[in-house]
Amino acid sequence: MTRVFIGLGSNLADPAAQLASAVQALKQLPGSRWAGLSSLYTSDSILAGQPRYTNAVAALDTELAPLALLDALQAIENAQGRVRTERWGPRTLDLDILLYGDQVIDEPRLHVPHREMQARAFVLYPLAELVPEAFVFSDGRTLRALLQACPFTGLERLAAPR
């Protein structure tokens, strides 16, 4: 089993409900054991002119290989009505593999650790609820250092984990 962290995001069609149903789907992934969910956070989109996002981070232990996990996550996104039009467009559900154990993965379909996560408050603060601040990323930086470089400003914490 490998501990993985998955970023959840939605800015369409009742985002909190989208995240809740994604959590139900993640709990049923084959070869995997649910390991917990952060609080939910809302924030303005990094891109102007989009609805606000709701984000969270989930932890799973899984036997699925990275690309098999990616396929399973994309199936959940599609089942929840994700339509891929423009890159970075608004979406009913986005599921990103943030970390897959301590592996560094560089494939056309999958980059782990997730490329943008290290500068995104809406990923780092929920992740910090699930791993200690002493956590070291594959490039040697600690979660604590990334949090210090990435202010909480603009994030609103919604709900404690259930």
Using CB under 6 A as the binding rule, the residues of this chain from 50 to 79 that contact ligand ROI are: 53, 55
How many CA atoms does the CB half-sphere of 28 hold within 13 Å? 6
Contact between 5 and ligand ROI per CB under 6 A: no
Q: Among this protein's residues, is 87 annotated catalytic?
A: no
Which of 146, 89, 151, 155 is CA-nearest to residue 117?
146
Strand partners, 156: 42
The residue from 33, 91, 106, 141 that is catalytic is 91
Q: x/- binding map, residues 7-26, to ligand ROI, per CB under 6 A?
A: --x-----------------
Structure-token pair, residue 65: 């290989």
Which SS3 state, helix, strand or coil, does residue 158 take?
strand
Which of 134, 1, 157, 153 is CA-nearest to residue 65?
1
Contact between 134 and ligand ROI per CB under 6 A: no
Nearer to ligand ROI, 7 or 66 (CB): 7
Count the residues in the chain: 162
Q: Could you give the residue numbers annotated as active site?
A: 82, 91, 94, 96
Binding residues (CB under 6 A) for ligand ROI: these are: 9, 43, 45-47, 53, 55, 88, 94, 122
